[in-house]
Chain A
């Protein structure tokens, strides 16, 4: 088990390195001279040259990468051009908001999906199953930004229960902060619960066919015990992998939801930085999100043997 954990953790290191190189090259492949873009067209050649030297742009590409990586390892992601702040602290503040929305939403969606999936598998091909699958397929087809707008329309404008624009952070006013998070979290739950439910149902259907379930029933266990004590742990493992994928999709796609609800999260930051051509910020966001995704997958891999111990033995 410990060998498995160490192997997985070491295995993530090359991925992180390759991901960093990709992010670095992606930003470098933007047409035009970064120094010129940052200083504007009106800048004189001397100050452009000085700025190029400051950024290390006069050195060969591999050297530039090593310099950049060294800074990153020291927690220095560079300086934002327009916001005049270190990228690292900027990204960190925004990441906290985005990550809490995503994790709360995925947590709620997983609980609903596992319950609904288990129920549907138990009722396989009966009315309850058909209803769950139909609702899940509808959910799968809803774009988050549209659901967000509709929720705003109904709960923000029609009923006036929740605020429509703006954001108050938890450190400023905890009693009001949650009101700004209800709709974004609800949006993500609605959008992601479908895919998770379908996955949970599919793996529960597989598990319920197995002989040990028949055996558990033959022992006279209640259906509740059969489903939750015996079927759930085995059926949950594939769903967990899907949870990792969903978190990844949301890490990348959170920008649209934050745009709908005017939330100052990481997604908004990257989009605004792209508009403003604030490339150090774009680079920092891409790197942090990509590494976060690698880590999420690592955590999923490490949790997997808890639900399916066969994996660690291989």
Chain B
């Protein structure tokens, strides 16, 4: 069902890929190397405007904003990747099983699922992070719990429409067991909608993690994230505006890249949309 991309889609793919590659490269490099130590305090160079030594300036403790933005990227991307992986793994496993086998477990799980979906995702994450306190992996857990119900619903819906298809009936008629049919015929056909969902969720996870960190309920300091860098920038809006501009630009660049890539992926997988 894949299609060749038209020129607009290709442009989107190129722009999204390029932006994503820049952010990803900065974040990966930051694991091994940053221009300066992101946590080193330097009182003599507090709130320095961008110059040759500190390309993005320094913050209220004299820390290098570029280095912090790079490690912040590592943290944000790690949290988002773990969140999406956990939500997809748990949500699609439950979705495949309940959608395929139905029965009373399906009904029970659906009630629980619909209840969780009745909460705005960020509110659930906010409540859960209140329960767990600010921790890096607490954020991952809160966000994945908030997103698992969405995955489950999409996967279950897909499975339920797939299992009525004729080729599934054919597989059964051939005497294949239900597990074989599920794994061999249903799972591969559900990959496309899951991939589209995962891309969108990756963007949401980046945004939610930044929002939670901005509120002081996400990844705790001194670890840098784009969200908590913006939170501390507020009082220095007049004296050091670069503190407010740079982390937000990185969040926006990441989200734009994810949205552009997501649109291209959807065009490629399902040209009718």
Q: With A and B bound together, what is the CA distance between A270 and B8 in angstroms?
A: 44
Q: With A and B bound together, what is the CA distance between A31 and B115 in angstroms?
A: 23
B119 touches A150 (CB 8 A): no
B127 touches A143 (CB 8 A): no
A271 touches B123 (CB 8 A): no
B128 touches A137 (CB 8 A): no
B241 touches A26 (CB 8 A): no
Q: With A and B bound together, what is the CA distance between A157 and B121 in angstroms?
A: 34
A294 touches B214 (CB 8 A): no
B216 touches A275 (CB 8 A): yes
Of listed B126, B131, B227, B249, residue having the most chain A CB within 10 A: B126
Tell whether A293 is near chain B: CB-to-CB under 8 Å.
yes
Q: How many of chain A's residues have a CB under 8 angstroms from any CB in B? A: 48
B123 touches A289 (CB 8 A): yes
B118 touches A15 (CB 8 A): yes
A150 touches B245 (CB 8 A): yes
**Closest chain A residue to B250, Cβ basis:** A146
Which residues of chain A are within 8 angstroms of B231 by Cβ–Cβ distance?
Answer: 259
B248 touches A282 (CB 8 A): no
Expressed in whole angstroms, the minimum distance between the Cβ of B11 and any Cβ of chain A is 10
Which residues of chain B are within 8 angstroms of A152 by Cβ–Cβ distance?
Answer: 237
B126 touches A255 (CB 8 A): yes
Q: With A and B bound together, what is the CA distance between A23 and B216 in angstroms?
A: 22
Tell whether A18 is near chain B: CB-to-CB under 8 Å.
yes
A146 touches B131 (CB 8 A): no
Tell whether A213 is near chain B: CB-to-CB under 8 Å.
no
Interface string of B203-214 (1 = CB under 8 A from A): 100010011001
Interface string of A2-41 (1 = CB under 8 A from B): 0000000000000100110111001101110000000000
Which residues of chain B are within 8 angstroms of A297 by Cβ–Cβ distance?
Answer: 118
Which residues of chain A are within 8 angstroms of B203 by Cβ–Cβ distance?
Answer: 141
Which residues of chain A are within 8 angstroms of B217 by Cβ–Cβ distance?
Answer: 271, 274
Which residues of chain B are within 8 angstroms of A27 by Cβ–Cβ distance?
Answer: 131
Task: Given the known inter-chain contacts A149-B244, A275-B216, please indicate yes or no for A253 contacting B118, CB distance below 8 A.
Answer: no
A18 touches B118 (CB 8 A): yes
A30 touches B116 (CB 8 A): no
Residue of B119, B120, B131, B241 near A253 (CB, 8 A) is B120
B126 touches A270 (CB 8 A): yes
Among residues 124 to 152 in chain A, which have CB atoms less than 8 Å away from a CB atom of chain B? 130, 137-138, 140-146, 149-150, 152
Tell whether A249 is near chain B: CB-to-CB under 8 Å.
yes
Task: Given the known inter-chain contacts A15-B115, A289-B123, please indicate yes or no for A256 contacting B211, CB distance below 8 A.
Answer: yes
Apart from A21-B115, A153-B237, what 10 extra A-B contacts exist at CB < 8 Å?
A141-B256, A149-B244, A152-B237, A249-B121, A260-B234, A274-B126, A274-B130, A286-B123, A293-B118, A297-B118
Instruction: List, sorted by A's number, 10 A–B pairs whose CB atoms are closer than 8 Å.
Output: A18-B115, A19-B115, A19-B119, A22-B119, A143-B251, A248-B120, A252-B119, A259-B214, A274-B130, A293-B123
User: A residues near B, CB below 8 A?
Assistant: 15, 18-19, 21-23, 26-27, 29-31, 130, 137-138, 140-146, 149-150, 152-153, 156-157, 164, 248-249, 251-253, 255-256, 259-260, 270-271, 274-275, 282, 286, 289-290, 293-294, 297
